[in-house]
Structure 1
Amino acid sequence: MNTKKVNTREELEHAYKVRMKVFVEEQNVPPEEELDEHDASATHFVTYDNNNPIAASRLRFVDEYGKLERICVIKDYRGKSYGKQIIIEMEKVITEKGYKNAKLNAQTHAEEFYKKLGYETVSGEFLDAGIPHVTMIKKL
């Protein structure tokens, strides 16, 4: 398993490929909602299994938070700590940039996963792309 911050156009395409597979094909998010105006300025991450991209995410800095977004793992690879690994890498970058807080909008089915990683729910349920979410934060 190799999680890395995206540095090349090819790696960025790999991250987009994972996001499209998970969010658009599997969860029926419209493609125009999945890839948005924030992608150009975000820091992207991709995880590989033997050069095969299997997880992706992006990170933005909003107010006092490192905001973890678009975290996804290809279905066949879920439950094998790839999601945890990509979040650890994102949190490292957040602290390296001098931020002390992380924030994310979690799909409600993944809320317990994030709680195990130290995130606390701070909102009620809301819809994003037609999918129930909650906002969660963590002090780093």
Structure 2
Amino acid sequence: MANKKKNKWTRRAFMVTGGIVGGGLVVGLGGMMYVNKKIKEYTGEGFGEGTSLNAWIRIAPDNTVTMAVPRSEMGQGVYTSMPMLMAEELEVDMSTIHLVHPQPESPYANPFLMVNKPRDVYHGLNIMEKILS
């Protein structure tokens, strides 16, 4: 009979494998905890105290309005036109409206993953008409 060697873990192989698996778990779970913390920061808790009308608008006790604008400002005027429209609809001064850029979650999703120049303002107006009516 041939001399058969048993497949045996060496101490070195065990330590290397354990280090790789442990490091992967630390990085993976730590990353998930960081992402969850940031999601909480940019969702309901990131708005602060106040009355939340929906996922986009929150009115604080000091009458400041926080508005989530899930579009990029790339020259189409989203960060200017959306607060103007909101101030007009709520009949408040535009200086009381503050903008935040929310995390990419389902209510803020941009299914086309693009900036669509004038359509971003038009799309935002349609959403606000539905919300405020």
TM-score, normalised with respect to structure 1 = 0.31
Which structure's residues are more often strand, by fraction?
Answer: 1
TM-score, normalised with respect to structure 2 = 0.32
Which structure's residues are more often helix, by fraction?
Answer: 2
Max radius of gyration: which structure?
A: 2
